[in-house]
């Protein structure tokens, strides 16, 4: 059974760095083709893809946010970590992690999401 | 980036009626790598359709995806009460992966 679960702080202050962890089970990120991505969704708006990491450890970022994003993988703990620097109130959103079985594949399994609010 | 535009923004329908949702891409979606998701309040999106017309596991056959190239559709033949929510299209052909703005079926 494939599961993903996001964890991290629900509230961060402007200019702080957000660190989110995606803990997954039921698949291995070392399996050829496998990817885990981070996607965020501001309240009432459409999802926005942020970053992904693939089975070879290659990393891909949204061009508009790449200077602020870092994605990493801990294969021993089946976790993918996303950091977002210099948080702003406009970064308030529900942050999801999701799996794709192929680099060019749909997001077939999602975590439940985590609302992160940026406020002083 | 490949911008996806969905229409209409809102569909007001009753159970038992049919629904047709549209998704238009600014660039051709290679290999028809276009997916549809359903989202209900407080939940993650759920994959319904991938490859433009293939249903994901467990998706009822009243959901049908169609189209190719840059124009795609999602048809729901007879709305059930659990089908009301927001539907998003998404392309996974090019980076960055992009989503449409959503169609709310109410």
% of chain A residues with pLDDT over 70 = 100
Which chain A positions have a beta carbon within 8 Å of B37's beta carbon?
A: 107
- Mean pLDDT, range A11-15, rounded to an integer: 98
Chosen for mutation from B39, B46, B72, B97 (greatest number of chain A CBs closer than 10 Å) is: B97
- Mean pLDDT, range A79-99, rounded to an integer: 98
Q: Which whole-number Å values give the CA distances from A20 to A36, A76, A109, B55, in the listed order?
A: 13, 17, 18, 31
For B32, phi and psi rounded to 5 degrees? 50, 40
What would the pLDDT profile of B7-30 be if each residue is shown by its tens digit? 999 999 999 999 999 999 999 999
- Mean pLDDT, range B36-52, rounded to an integer: 97
Which chain B positions have a beta carbon within 8 Å of A62's beta carbon?
A: 96
Q: Does the beta carbon of B98 lie under 8 angstroms from any beta carbon of chain A? A: yes
């Amino acid at each position: 059974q494939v599961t993903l679960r996001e964890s991290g702080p629900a509230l961060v202050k402007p200019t702080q760095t957000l660190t989110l962890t995606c803990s997954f089970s039921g698949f291995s990120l070392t399996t050829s083709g496998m990817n885990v991505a981070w996607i965020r969704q501001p309240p009432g708006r459409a999802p926005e893809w942020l970053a992904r990491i693939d089975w070879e450890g290659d990393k891909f970022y949204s061009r508009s946010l790449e200077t602020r994003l870092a994605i990493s993988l801990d294969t021993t703990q089946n976790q993918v970590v996303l950091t977002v620097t210099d948080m702003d109130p406009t970064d308030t959103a529900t942050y999801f992690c999701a799996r794709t079985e192929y680099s060019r594949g749909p997001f077939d399994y999602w975590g439940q999401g985590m609302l992160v609010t940026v406020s002083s | 980036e490949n911008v996806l535009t969905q229409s209409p923004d809102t569909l007001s329908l009753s159970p038992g009626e049919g629904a047709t949702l549209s998704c238009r891409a600014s660039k051709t979606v290679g290999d028809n790598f276009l997916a549809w998701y359903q989202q209900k309040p407080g939940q993650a999106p759920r994959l319904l359709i991938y490859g433009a017309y293939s249903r994901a596991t467990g998706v009822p056959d009243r959901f049908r995806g169609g189209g190719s190239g840059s124009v795609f559709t999602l048809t729901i033949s007879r709305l059930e009460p659990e089908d009301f929510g927001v539907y998003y299209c998404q392309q996974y052909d090019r980076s960055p992966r992009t989503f449409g703005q959503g169609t709310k079926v109410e």
